[in-house]
Amino acid sequence: MGVQFRQVVIVGVGLIGGSLGLVLKQKGLAGSVVGVGRRIENLEKAVELHAIDRYETDVRNAIHDADLVVLATPVQTYASHLRDWGQTLQSGAIVSDVGSVKGGLVEEAEKLLPAAVHFVGAHPIAGREKSGVAYASPNLFDGARCLVTPTKQTDPQALEAICQLWEAAGSIVLSMDPFVHDWVLGSVSHLPHVAAFGLMHALDDLQAQMEAPVDLLDFSGGGLRDTTRIAASSPEMWRDISLANRQNLVRMIETYIQHLEKFKDLLEKEDEVGLVEVMTKAKELRERLK
């Protein structure tokens, strides 16, 4: 594909930002990749791993010649970032992101940028429980979906450039309305994380209710590990995601509670037929997962 951008600035060089940097460097998609962050140790590690060419701790010192800036920080920081330096970007520059919440954040980003600077929302659906650039990989996005979330204001050429970037990274790129994105990802990602966090707390309470000196987690099998794997995710990141998508997520939690209450009701009634019905439907739905 060749060099697509002269200088890319990645604000937040963690797992996703670092992996994107590795893609840009290894595939020659950028003339220069600059990382921005607060922790010097992490930035030096990114240089050592060849995820970035150099680093800055102040975004303003990095973006003078940038034709692409990628926000890979918590979604709640986008507005403050763009208010701070968005107006200083050169004409024609593209700002994109990797966040898992879009909706109103995309609208706000568009309003905070000059007319000649283009925002393109993007969400690579890839990750691991472990965060940090040390876990970055150029193969992280292989075969993963990447959702781009254009609006009526999105510049077609900027959109095409971001689509090509993520296709070069190995992703399957799909386009989706920003608000539809938040309902979809709230359902299949944000709600499962809440469920996993809640289940671990329930187990902690159940442990406290035991009189026998037995550690419940010592007897966990694959089922518990599979069900709660994502509870090991970054609390700070998931706090921000949950708050940013809170209106959808509250409704989704209410729906989930309704189904737990239904299951509880079937147990109390010893309704064998009803239990088989809900379990069978759940099994059939699970088997549709790709």
The DSSP string of 186-247 is IIIIIHHHHHHHHHHHHHHHHHHH--SS--GGGG--HHHHHHHGGGGS-HHHHHHHHHHTHH
**Domains identified in the chain and CATH numbers:** 5-176 (3.40.50.720), 180-286 (1.10.3660.10)
**Residue 122 phi/psi, 5° resolution?**
-145, 145
pLDDT at 212: 86
pLDDT at 250: 98
Beta carbons of 100 and 241 less than 8 angstroms apart: yes
Consecutive 10-residue averages of pLDDT for the chain (290 residues) = 84 95 96 95 94 95 95 93 96 96 95 96 85 89 97 97 96 98 97 98 95 91 94 91 96 98 98 98 94
Within 10 angstroms of residue 171's Cβ, the number of other Cβ atoms is: 24
CA dihedral for 53, 54, 55, 59, sign (positive or negative): negative
pLDDT at 234: 86
Beta carbons of 126 and 166 less than 8 angstroms apart: no
pTM score of the predicted model: 0.91
pLDDT at 1: 56
Angle at 78 between CA 244 and CA 239, to 5 degrees: 35
**Residue 9 phi/psi, 5° resolution?**
-110, 125
Helix (H, G, I), strand (E, B) or coil at 44: helix
CA nearest neighbour of 86 among 112, 55, 58, 62? 112
The one-letter amino acid code at 156 reads: P
